């Protein structure tokens, strides 16, 4: 097989590309993930579905053709992944952040990420302390079925059979994106647009509101500039199969496959455990394991930060310069108290990262990279995250409006 082992600094480029595109689509804004948790805007679902569909076919097509891959599906230790996923989804719904989006938000100059990052570091440290205990060992060893993908253990897969399964897998994910409306109400999807060929009033309303919350605290943007049409027209697009949105999903999927081919999967929560070990717990058992196995995660996270920073300055023009901007969903429910938002951003990030390390991965390592590899653990984690985020968001935000100009 044709094998490549790229130097670690390549991780900066991988992270930079993903960070730049994700910032452009608004993933660095906590309101985007809060709206996902409230099931108001399924942008993240559509992008992940398209990226995973394309990525899986490319990954296993190349593998069957003789290209060696640095596979890294997470082991399926059911209890730890399920409980970790529940914690991850709950913390994400409150804070509006996942590990990768924290570095993007830092690049975008968001003030409340200054509370999220310390919370995440302490969440990683808490798992480091729990790991060697009897509870921690039970979580990662009980119900452990190994590194499974849809066709069996990753070490013993049949390349061409797995490629065939990846095609069916991709069709299922693309159908999800085709029939799932982006915005709440279920009135419009790519399928319904093909049938009715018109945009309804709900889509127009969400289009305007999405532009408004993404632009809060940002820099002036000339709508007639070279990037203005993309930012103002294509980003809030309701159709997951619009050319710009489809292109971004394809690029992210291919970039993750490139990462697996060159060195390792794309993941971002390990950096927090590495930092927690370096700063607080250098002699802990879990820290030593992280030190021994760490790859380019810290460098890819630096790339994610830089990609988001460059995108927010020169393309989306959403750089906040650390102004105080409270997400609309949060302020409509709890008001504009900055200290209250800071406390819960910190707490939510703590819970989210603690859950990520318990489960062995996060939105990038489990859901994106794992989804592209057709990992069983990715779908166990995703199911737990979806359940927890929906229930938590319902409890936290209730029926309050998510709109920038709430009535």
Domain count, the chain: 1
Asked if residue 204 belongs to a domain, the reply is yes
Summarize pLDDT for 225-282 with one digit per residue, the tens.
Answer: 878 878 888 888 887 877 888 888 999 999 999 999 999 999 999 999 999 999 999 9
Q: Which domain holds residue 47?
A: 24-397
Question: How would you classify residue 403: left for phi > 0, otherwise alpha for psi between -120 and 50, otherwise beta?
Answer: beta
> Contact, 31 vs 329, CB < 8 A?
yes
Asked if residue 240 belongs to a domain, the reply is yes
- Sign for the CA dihedral angle at 79, 81, 86, 87 comes to positive
Asked if residue 6 belongs to a domain, the reply is no
Contacts of 388 (CB under 8 A, 6+ apart): 85, 86, 87, 88, 89, 90, 93
Place of tokens 């997470």: 74
Checking if the pLDDT of 151 tops 80, the result is yes
- Alpha carbon separation from 204 to 34, 56, 201, 208, 236 (Å, rounded): 20, 34, 5, 6, 9
Asked if residue 9 belongs to a domain, the reply is no
Residues paired with residue 375 on neighbouring β-strands, in sequence order: 149
> Contact, 27 vs 44, CB < 8 A?
yes
Asked if residue 296 belongs to a domain, the reply is yes
Summarize pLDDT for 190-220 with one digit per residue, the tens.
Answer: 656 655 556 677 888 888 999 999 999 999 9
Mean pLDDT of the chain: 93
Contacts of 129 (CB under 8 A, 6+ apart): 281, 284
Asked if residue 297 belongs to a domain, the reply is yes
Checking if the pLDDT of 394 tops 90, the result is yes
Contacts of 12 (CB under 8 A, 6+ apart): 296, 299, 300, 302, 303, 306
- pTM comes to 0.95
């Amino acid at each position: 097989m044709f094998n490549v082992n790229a130097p670690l600094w390549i991780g900066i480029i991988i992270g930079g590309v993903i960070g730049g595109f994700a910032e452009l689509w608004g993933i660095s804004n906590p309101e985007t993930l809060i709206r996902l948790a409230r099931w108001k805007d399924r942008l993240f679902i559509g992008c992940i579905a398209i990226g995973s569909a394309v990525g899986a076919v490319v990954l296993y097509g190349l593998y069957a053709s003789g290209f060696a891959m640095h596979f890294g599906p997470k082991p399926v230790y059911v209890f730890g992944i399920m409980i970790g996923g529940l914690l991850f989804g709950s913390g994400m719904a409150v804070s509006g952040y996942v590990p990768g989006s924290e570095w993007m938000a830092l690049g975008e100059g968001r003030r409340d990420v200054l509370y999220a990052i310390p919370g995440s570091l302490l969440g990683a440290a808490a798992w480091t302390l729990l790991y060697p205990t009897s509870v921690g060992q039970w979580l990662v060893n009980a119900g452990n079925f190994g590194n499974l993908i849809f066709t069996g253990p990753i070490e013993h897969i049949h390349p061409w059979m797995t490629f065939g399964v990846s095609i069916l897998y991709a069709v299922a994910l693309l159908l999800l994106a085709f029939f799932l409306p982006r915005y709440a109400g279920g009135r419009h999807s790519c399928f319904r647009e093909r049938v009715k060929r018109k945009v309804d009033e709900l889509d127009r309303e969400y289009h305007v509101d999405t532009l408004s919350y993404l632009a809060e605290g940002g820099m002036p943007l000339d709508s007639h500039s070279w990037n203005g049409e993309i930012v103002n027209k294509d980003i809030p697009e309701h159709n997951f199969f619009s050319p710009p949105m489809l292109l971004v999903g394809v690029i992210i999927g291919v970039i993750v496959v490139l990462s697996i081919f060159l060195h390792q999967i794309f993941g971002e929560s390990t950096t927090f455990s590495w930092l927690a070990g370096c700063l607080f717990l250098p002699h802990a058992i879990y820290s030593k394991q992280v030190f021994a196995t760490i790859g380019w995660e810290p460098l890819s996270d630096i790339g994610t930060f830089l990609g988001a920073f460059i995108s927010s300055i020169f393309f989306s023009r959403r750089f906040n310069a650390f102004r105080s901007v409270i997400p609309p969903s949060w302020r409509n429910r709890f008001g504009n108290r900055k200290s209250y938002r800071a406390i819960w951003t910190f707490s939510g990030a703590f819970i989210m990262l603690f859950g990520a390390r318990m489960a062995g991965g996060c939105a990038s390592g489990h859901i994106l990279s794992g989804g592209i590899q057709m990992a069983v653990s990715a779908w166990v984690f995703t199911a737990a995250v979806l359940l927890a985020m929906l229930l938590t968001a319902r409890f936290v935000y209730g029926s309050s409006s998510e709109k920038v100009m709430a009535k």
